[in-house]
Amino acid sequence: MLGMLKKHTVELSPEVFGRLTNQGIPIKNQIIERSLTYADEEYIDSCETDSNGEFSFNLKTIKSRLPGNVLHEPIVRQAIYVDFEGKNYLLWHAFQDGIEIIVEFQPKLKNLIADISTPEKDFRITSQSNNNKSYKIFSICNW
């Protein structure tokens, strides 16, 4: 019962660094949005690309009592996207189970090199830190 009263830190997203281009040409002054969902709460923030098309987001954590509930399955949805000239481009879309950032996500999110001329693909990442669980990532980025 006392575990349900304690607030736990839930890591929604690590720091993100990226670059947005169109056929290799930087897209400047473009809004990039990040949507993070945990339980029924969505957290949205945005940033703007600089003259080199570069952008970044800070680490995002919250405090929640939900992880203390034995019936709760902690899942975080992560989405980073851009609307450019009427079209939506998915730079990152993944689900994280648990309240800690998936270690294997971090290097990819620190290097989101996105060219809007690249078609969206799905990638599989195997997490050795999480019992070799496989995670599907959707993105226009290449790693």
All domains of the chain, ordered by start, with CATH? 10-59+74-139 (2.60.40.1120)
Average pLDDT across the chain, whole number: 93
* Dihedral over alpha carbons 79, 23, 52, 37 (to 10 degrees): 0
Question: Between β-strands 121-127 and 133-139, what pairing exists: parallel, antiparallel or unpaired?
Answer: antiparallel
Please provide residue 85's backbone torsions phi and psi, each rounded to the nearest 5 degrees: 50, 45
pTM over 0.85: yes
Q: What is the sign of the dihedral through the CA atoms of 14, 19, 23 and 29?
A: positive
Does position 12 have pLDDT exceeding 80, yes or no? Answer: yes
- Paired tokens of 125: 């990442």
Reported as a single tens digit per residue, the pLDDT across 35-49 is 999 998 999 999 999
Print burial letters for 4-39: b (CB count within 10 Å at least 16), e (below 16): eeeeeebbbbbebebbbbeeeeebeebebbbbbbbe
Distance CA 112, CA 142 (A): 8
- 10-16: average pLDDT: 96
Instruction: Tell me the pLDDT band of 4, cut-offs 50, 70 and 90.
Output: low
What mean pLDDT do residues 126-143 have? 91
pLDDT digits (tens, 9 = 90+) for 51-106: 999 999 999 999 988 876 777 788 999 999 999 999 999 999 999 998 899 999 99
Q: For residues 139 and 21, what is the distance between their CA atoms, to the nearest angstrom? A: 14
In whole angstroms, how far apart are CA 112 and each of 53, 56, 75, 102?
Answer: 11, 10, 22, 16
